[in-house]
Amino acid sequence: MRLNASELSWEESSAADAMLPSGRQEGGASARESPPLTAWGVALCVSGTVITAENAVVVAAILATPSLRAPVFLLLASLGLADLLAGVALVARFLFRFCLAPSDWSELATSGLLVTSLSASLCSLMGVALDRYLSLSHALTYGSGRSRRRAALLLLLVWAGACLVGAGPAMGWNCLDEPASCSVAPPLTRTYLSLLCGGFLAVVVATLQLYAGICRVARRHANAIATQRHFLPSSRSFGGKHGGGRGFSRLVLVLGVFVGCWMPFSLWGLLGDASSPPLYTYATLVPAAFSSLLNPMLYSLRNKDIRKVLLHACCPRRQAAQVHCPVDV
């Protein structure tokens, strides 16, 4: 959608232009003129700004509170930082695209930053699922200093891998000189994007397996408690007494958003090519970026300890309650 002074028209290519880097124009120039401002571009800048601000608040709240050092909070801080960088990448994309002269290096830099942030975000989500599984299956020992060191090592590996993957476009995995090798998201090559989306799908499947394990462990615990209380392990009676139905609905919401945000682009990146309609690429990439807006609300802001810290920051006169480490399914 292009916004002109005298008309409002729809162009399919403008949807992709707002998010995706464009290939090298004729003549091989490394710098090009800025295209006309589009509604997609404005939405890109606004959403990136909101994502950055929202996740910056979460990351600052966790890092500024010494008591929030359990593995779950380290993982939530990593998730918030990854989503914050995704918002920065979207804003930088807008600035380089519409405010400054676009160039090859700006396309590679913003594409690499976006790949790095989305990879770290997805792996952090898997880490959150792993934390929830371990905190249920090893409830007596999880949360110790050894667990925190393992979580820190996991995050170090996640970010090292994400930075290595994100450096791919700058290290030569781009189609700026060979437009025929472009994927549905230029300047990424089709081979590079296929490997990236294949990895995304593997992480999605592993995360779903972890949540399936969480359900099995929770059910086993519920049956054990029901047996100790000398009544049948009826899911209805136990769920009604202990809020199992509400926990299950939250789990369905988390998994629905997770799969809905990441599965479309992962599949489209494997199936599409450079000749595919750009609008389809935009329609599948937007949910993946939109997950950075939803993650703080689904994971961090649902945690009562983080909410207490934010409430105390907004209302300093309130007495801060003692922070503990709950496990939210």
Instruction: Tell whether 319 is covered by a domain.
Output: no
Domain limits for position 204: 2-20+36-314
**82 secondary structure, DSSP code:** H
How far is Cα 158 from Cα 202, in angstroms, rounded to an integer? 15
- Ramachandran assignment for 143, one of left (phi > 0), alpha (psi -120 to 50 degrees), beta (any other): left
Total residue count of the chain as it appears in this document: 329
Instruction: Tell whether 320 is covered by a domain.
Output: no
**Residues 16/279, Cβ–Cβ less than 8 Å:** yes
Q: What are phi and psi of 43, to 5 degrees?
A: -60, -35
**Residues 119/125, Cβ–Cβ less than 8 Å:** no
Per DSSP, the three-state class of 8 is: strand
- Domain tally, the chain: 1
How far is Cα 174 from Cα 4, in angstroms, rounded to an integer? 33
Instruction: Tell whether 82 is covered by a domain.
Output: yes
Instruction: Tell whether 116 is covered by a domain.
Output: yes
Instruction: Tell whether 179 is covered by a domain.
Output: yes
Instruction: Tell whether 234 is covered by a domain.
Output: yes
pLDDT number for residue 60: 93
What is the token pair recorded at 52?
């950055």
Q: What is the CATH number of the domain that holds 281?
A: 1.20.1070.10
pTM: 0.80
Q: What is the sign of the dihedral through the CA atoms of 102, 105, 108 and 109?
A: negative
Tell me the pLDDT tens digit for each residue of 32-90: 666 677 777 787 788 889 999 999 999 999 998 888 888 889 999 999 999 999 999 98
Instruction: Tell whether 25 is covered by a domain.
Output: no
How far is Cα 24 from Cα 41, in angstroms, rounded to an integer? 20
Q: What are the pLDDT tens digits along the chain (329 aa)?
A: 344 444 333 333 444 444 444 444 444 444 566 667 777 778 778 888 999 999 999 999 999 888 888 888 999 999 999 999 999 998 998 888 888 777 888 889 999 999 999 899 999 999 989 988 888 887 766 766 677 888 889 999 999 999 999 999 888 888 888 888 888 888 889 999 999 999 988 998 999 899 988 888 888 877 777 677 655 444 444 444 444 556 667 777 888 888 888 888 888 888 888 788 877 877 887 888 788 889 998 888 888 888 888 888 787 765 444 444 444 44
Question: Is the peptide bond between 66 and the residue preceding it cis, with omega within 30 degrees of 0?
Answer: no
pLDDT number for residue 223: 75
Instruction: Tell whether 115 is covered by a domain.
Output: yes
